[in-house]
Structure 1
Amino acid sequence: MSPTRPSVLPAVLRLLSLLPLLLPTPPGVRGDCGPPPEVPNAQPILGGSTSFPEKTAITYKCNEGFVKIPGNPDSVVCLSNNQWSEFIEFCNRSCDVPTRLLFASLKKDYNMQNYFPVGSTVEYECRPGYIRNPFQSVKLTCLQNLTWSKAAEFCKKKSCPNPGELRNGDINITTGLFYGSPIFFSCHTGYRLVGESSSYCTLFDRTLKWSEPLPECVEIYCPEPIQIDNGYIQEEQEVYVYRQSITYGCNKGFNLVGKSSIYCTVTEDEGEWSDPPPQCIGKSSGYKPSPTAQKPTTVSVPATQRPSVPKATTSFHTTRVTERKETSPSGAVSLIYGFVAAAIIIGILILVKIFWDYGKSGSYNTYENNKAVNVMFHNLSETDDTSEVRHSDKL
């Protein structure tokens, strides 16, 4: 019987178990997790990497229209067992940032939040200058179509205090006395505005006040009236205001040319007189009204009297007077001519009557009739200086 030979099988198995340790390990095999897992509504940020050894971390970015859920991790890690760590879905749809309101602002709890899933709500508070309306909700909700519900006007504007009254002026209130509203100031005619022409209801230290104080309406004065030569101002005063008038008068021996009364008026907040002052002209000066008059006037004077006129117009007035003397008889001369003509006509009629009676009787009636005829005839032909009628002795 042959001797017992030791068994080699256990030694072979031990060598086979050590073989992986003796051979080189191919790259990308030991401790490699392979491609990152797929995450709903997100994409991994690889940066060009193809190998992911142990402890490698991969971060994800949410797809367009999705927002990261606060508190949920957005990355995975390669573990020692060549497996990726577990994850929770961290991208979801959300409404945009809440609606910005003019009269209210988001409460501080929502200022840093950017994830608003369907059904979530936000709450507002009134801005300074506004007051809460207790009958309206201050909350908005993210709807199924990812839009916010319509905001009610749950905050109303506060009002500024009454601005008061503007003496000698008006306050024009266009949109009320609420926060942000303007008011406008104007003065009555004859007054000038001193100060701002408008004011706004605004906020000062959380209190509503008017941005500008009330202006003043100051009375407008006309300049001191001009004194005129050879004349005076009746009941002269120290100051003259809108619509107040003055009346001029002339000294004895002078005529007033122009408007005797003028009044104070206003143009572009400046006082001025309605007309220029008149002039006082001597009665015998032959003065004509201002050159702007439409029809020049002339002065009637006797032929023996030379009018006294200003030097600049002496030749003009002298010519006018000379023409009047040569071409137009005076009123007295014209009257005398009329009486003479009437007397001649009456005398002719009397003579015709006498000759008619003589023809019938053949002679004069009597000496007394002849005497009467002669007296009448001589009275009509003699001048006013004749005191008696002389008769011929032959009669």
Structure 2
Amino acid sequence: MCLVGGLTAPAPLLLLLLLLCPPAAQGDCSRPPEVPNALLTMGDVSSFPEGTTVTYKCKEGFVKVPGKADSVVCLNNAWSELAEFCNRSCDVPTRLLFASLKTSFTKQNYFPEGSIVEYDCRPGYRKDHSLSGKLTCLQNFKWSKPDEFCKRKSCPNPGDLRNGRVSIPTDILYGASISFSCNEGYRLVGVTSSYCSLVDDSVVWSDPLPECQEIFCPEPPEVNNGFILDLRDTYVYQQAIKYRCNEGFTLIGESSIYCTVKGDQGEWSGPPPECKAKQSSATPRTTNAPKGKGTVSSDAAIIATVSTFENPPILPAFIHMASLNTSHNFARRNCELNKTVRQRKGKRDGTESHSFVVPSRFSTI
């Protein structure tokens, strides 16, 4: 006798029964059933012996309902029962810059229509109680638009920077930055910027205000044969010095230079002047005519030129004379300077030329 599927059969029928019922097919299940909104994850498997387990996954846009089974088992040629376990859901709640999801919702991934989640303000932000801190999964399975229900905390007023400026590009709220600069003539010592940052549960500036230190120029350059008026111990930006020359010397160049800055260093605006010795008195030119006596006719007029100097000689001065209507040159002669002045012209060598009309009658010695 042969037992096949719980039934007995005579021996002559055994071969026929084995052909009709192969041993491999006994207890096998057919292909797993279709589940709404779910897909099989069995791959290329084509046979399902007894005890085989097949798992499903939800289609895109659907989420497994927590607590429901997502697999079936082959038992006595049949699959176990499986209820619908995939449902529509909103995605994971929106991540907000100013707030974080409350911990009770962080491990949840199923948010059916009508689900409500709540947020807490992030560090550095404060709650605006006039606005809701909740989001709702809408009928289209999108989250409601969040209000900015958490506002940035404000850092304290940075104050004024002495001899400098504090630049605030936007505001002094959490995350903002400010920068520092010094007035002309000062150098910045410290940081150039500071950030409104978080310390514990408060917001403070990352760095204290810097300092603006006055820039000094080096000692002013000395000048030979001269001196500096009102010499000081120190000189700062835009302060000037003035040079003077000693007696007998002339100042060449700019009489003043001033303290300026280049980068964060002080320097003088230019080189100092020079003090050069004054030129000595020049001897006036004379004619080559020999000394002697001569007369000029009464109708003649004499042009007389006298040379004077920065340090004039004792009068009367020497005069060079020439007749206007003769070719005679006369030897230099002491003449009175109370004659009528006809022309005066300065020269570069420090002398001046004067022309006089001399009476027509003149005798040399």
TM-score, normalization: structure 1? 0.68
Q: Which residue of 117, 129, 134 maps to 1:139?
A: 134
Q: For residue 215 of structure 1, what is the aligned residue in structure 2?
A: 210
Aligned mates of 1:206, 1:212 — CA distance in 2:
18
Which position in structure 1 is the counterpart of 2:59? Answer: 63
Question: Within 2, Cα distance between the matches of 1:256 and 1:51?
Answer: 115
Q: Deviations over 1:252-305 (max 9, x none)?
A: 2212222222211223232222232111111226xxxxxxxxxxxxxx822479
1:36 aligned partner, one-letter code: P
* Partner Cα distance (1:46, 1:279) in 2: 102
Residue equivalent to 2:180: 185
Equivalence for 2:148 = 153
> What amino acid does structure 2 have at the position aligned with 1:226?
P
Give secondary structure in 2 for the equivalent of 1:78.
strand
2:288 matches 1:301 = no
Q: Which residue of 2 aligns with 1:109?
A: 104
Which residue number corresponds to residue 381 of structure 1? 361
Q: How many residues align?
A: 295
User: Pick from 43, 47, 55: which aligns with 1:47?
Assistant: 43
Cα offset for 1:91? Answer: 1.1
Whether contact under 8 Å (2:94, 2:143) holds in the other structure is: yes
Give deviations 1:90-128, integer Å, cap 9, x for gaps. Answer: 112222222111111111222222222222122111111
Which amino acid counterpart does residue 172 of structure 1 have in structure 2? S
Change (3 A) 1:199 1:20: farther
Q: Structure 1 residue runs of 4+, over 4 Å off?
A: 329-336
**Further displaced range: 53-62 or 160-169:** 53-62
Report if aligned partners of 1:140, 1:151 keep a CA contact under 8 Å in 2: yes
- Determine if the alignment matches structure 1 residue 163 to structure 2 residue 131: no
| Structure 2 residues without counterparts, runs of 5 or longer | 1-6, 287-304, 309-316, 326-358
What is the CA–CA distance in structure 1 between the aligned matches of 2:115 and 2:232, rounded to whole Å?
81
Paired letter, 1:67: V
Which SS does the other structure have where 1:302 is aligned?
A: coil
The reply on whether 1:35 has 2:31 as its aligned counterpart is yes
Corresponding residue number in structure 2 for 1:283:
278
Secondary structure of the structure 2 residue equivalent to 1:192: strand
For each residue in 1:194-214, what CA deviation from the matched residue of structure 2 results, as whole angstroms up to 9, or x when unmatched?
A: 122111111123321212221
Cross-structure match for 1:202? 197
**1:133-159 deviations in whole A, cap 9, x for unaligned?**
111111111222222111100000001
Instruction: For residue 232 of structure 1, report the CA deviation from its aligned partner.
Output: 0.9
Q: Which amino acid aligns with 2:33?
A: P
The answer to whether the Cα contact below 8 Å between 2:223 and 2:275 also exists between their aligned partners in 1 is yes
* CA-based RMSD: 2.8
Aligned to 2:8: 18
Cα distance change on mapping 1:18 and 1:304 into 2, 3 Å? same
- The farther-off stretch of 19-28 and 195-204 is 19-28
Change in 2 beyond 3 A, CA 1:18/1:252:
closer
2:255 maps to: 260
Name the CA distance, whole Å, in 2 between partners of 1:213 and 1:249: 48
2:34 & 2:24 partners in 1: Cα distance? Answer: 21
Residues 56 and 20 of structure 1, relative CA distance in 2, 3 Å threshold: farther
Alignment of 1:74 onto 2:70: yes
Unaligned runs of 5+ in 1: 1-16, 286-299, 306-328, 343-378, 386-395
Deviations 1:10-32 (A, max 9, x none): xxxxxxx7327983453355323
> 3-state SS of the aligned residue for 1:109?
helix
- Which protein has greater RCO, CA pairs closer than 8 Å, 6+ apart? 2
**Secondary structure of 2:9's match?**
helix
Equivalent position of 1:6 in the other structure: none
CA distance 1:104–1:119, change in 2 (3 Å) = same
Q: 1:142 to 1:20 in 2, by over 3 A?
A: farther
Alignment partner, residue 357 of structure 1:
none
Identity over the aligned pairs, expressed in percent? 57
Supply the AA of the counterpart residue of 1:383. Answer: S
State the SS of the aligned residue for 1:239: coil
Say if 2:236 is the partner of 1:236: no
TM-superposed deviation, 1:341: 5.6
CA distance in structure 1 between the aligned counterparts of 2:202 and 2:169, rounded to whole angstroms: 22
Tell me which amino acid in the other structure corresponds to 1:109. Answer: S
Work out whether residues 132 and 155 of structure 1, in 8 Å CA contact, stay in contact via their aligned partners in 2.
yes
| Aligned equivalents of 2:105, 2:10: Cα separation in 1 | 59
For residues 143-181 of structure 1, the C-alpha deviation after alignment (integer angstroms, 9 at most, x for no partner) is 222221111000000011122221111101111110011
Whose strand proportion is higher, 1 or 2?
2
Q: Partners in 2 of 1:335 and 1:251 — Cα distance?
A: 34
Q: Which residue of 2 aligns with 1:323?
A: none
CA separation in 2, counterparts of 1:334 and 1:116?
A: 123
Separation in structure 2 between the aligned mates of residue 44 and residue 382 of structure 1, nearest angstrom: 145
The answer (yes or no) to whether the contact 2:284–2:307 under 8 Å persists in 1 is no
The equivalent of 2:240 in structure 1 is 245
CA displacement at 1:336 relative to structure 2: 6.1
Counterpart residue identity of residue 282, structure 2: V
Normalized per residue, which structure has more helix?
1
Q: What SS class does the counterpart of residue 105 from structure 1 fall into?
A: strand
Displacement of 1:132: 0.5
Instruction: Specify the SS of the correspondent of 2:259.
Output: strand
Q: Is the 8 A contact 1:28 1:51 kept in 2?
A: no
Indicate the SS of the match to 2:63.
Answer: strand
